[in-house]
Amino acid sequence: MVGLRPDTRLRQCRWPALAPPFDAALREAVAFVFERFETWGIIAAGTIVRGNPHPGSDLDMVVIHARPRRQRIQKRFQGVPAEIFVNPPHTLRDYFEQEFTRARPCTAHMLNTGFVVFNGHAVVAQLLREARAALNRSPQLAAVDLTRLRYAVADQFENAFDMLEPDPDTARMLLTGAVQAALRYLFRRAGRYLPRDKDLLREAAALHPKIGLLTRAFLQTRELPRQATIARQIADLSIGARGFFEWESPLEDVGDQGMVMATPRPA
């Protein structure tokens, strides 16, 4: 497909059924991409493409191109905001691995749920297969890493409880962060990918209905003592702790480079 004019490539595109103004916005965005990049593939993703847009929705576009450069572009087309992620194939593969480690498969999710607007190279189909395989992997933490994460969440709760008397506003802020961390811990404990922030409460409630109900009660009350009581219940159910608990990481060999070894002097 190298060397084809943008209008020729536009005729080779497939288009999802979108309502105005999203349909015209996508076509304008694709034309913009063809003018700027030696494009091998374009995948449109996000709530607009999935058919459930809201007033704040934007177009997400993954652009696969032939050059060893990456770029992120945020631009409006027909008044619709678009986020365009331009990458060569090897960078997308790096993202698959990095996001697996963080348990947040954003790139793989966009490719797997998106609509292939332009397919101009065999690598597009290969990357789609790799995205599906990435989503099917289980991001299970090793036992020691899960314990380390559990302790970090327990520490957040402890910090929040410490501030209940001296600074209630700080306590409220810290409690909210600790509850969010506890919800995320549920997914790491289950060996599952972390949902997007805006899906966290809904998916946590599906994973653990009682914690979901408690979290909604926590968010709906404005009384700090009541919030603290509910937060303790969430901590007990999610991490089984509210602060310090005893644990040990493995003893690791870190080498002796640069260390000055003290030699005992004879008596």
Signed CA dihedral, 188, 190, 196, 202: sign only: negative
Number of domains in the chain: 2
Are 29 and 123 part of one and the same domain?
yes
74: its two tokens:
């945020």
Which pLDDT score is estimated for 264?
61
**Average pLDDT, stretch 143-156?**
97
Model confidence, pTM: 0.84
Which pLDDT score is estimated for 1?
47
User: Please, which pLDDT band fits residue 265 given cuts at 50, 70 and 90?
Assistant: low
Are 18 and 37 part of one and the same domain?
yes
Per-residue DSSP letters for 44-93? Answer: EESHHHHT---TT--EEEEEEESSS--EEEEEEETTEEEEEEEE-HHHHH
For residue 267, is pLDDT > 70? Answer: no
User: Please, which pLDDT band fits residue 54 given cuts at 50, 70 and 90?
Assistant: confident
Percent share of the chain, pLDDT over 90: 88
Are 15 and 123 part of one and the same domain?
yes
Question: For residue 44, what are the domain limits?
Answer: 6-135
For residue 208, is pLDDT > 50? Answer: yes
CATH number of the domain bearing residue 175: 1.20.120
Is 155 part of any domain?
yes
For residue 3, is pLDDT > 60? Answer: no
Is 45 part of any domain?
yes
Is 266 part of any domain?
no
Are 112 and 20 part of one and the same domain?
yes
**Average pLDDT, stretch 227-233?**
98
CATH number of the domain bearing residue 49: 3.30.460.10
Are 127 and 85 part of one and the same domain?
yes
Separation CA 182–CA 219 (nearest Å): 14
Q: What is the DSSP letter of 114?
A: S
For residue 117, is pLDDT > 90? Answer: yes
Q: CB-based contacts of 84: which residues, under 8 Å, 6+ apart?
A: 29, 33, 61, 63, 72, 73, 74, 75
**Average pLDDT, stretch 61-72?**
97
Over the chain, what is the mean pLDDT?
Answer: 93
Is 117 part of any domain?
yes
**Parallel/antiparallel/unpaired status of strands 59-65 and 80-87:** parallel
Which pLDDT score is estimated for 261?
57
For residue 197, is pLDDT > 60? Answer: yes
User: Please, which pLDDT band fits residue 115 given cuts at 50, 70 and 90?
Assistant: very high
Are 23 and 110 part of one and the same domain?
yes
Which pLDDT score is estimated for 244?
95
Are 106 and 14 part of one and the same domain?
yes
At 18-42, the pLDDT tens digits run 999 999 999 999 999 999 999 999 9
**Average pLDDT, stretch 209-213?**
98
For residue 260, is pLDDT > 70? Answer: no
- Tokens 């678009």 belong to residue: 82
Which pLDDT score is estimated for 255?
86
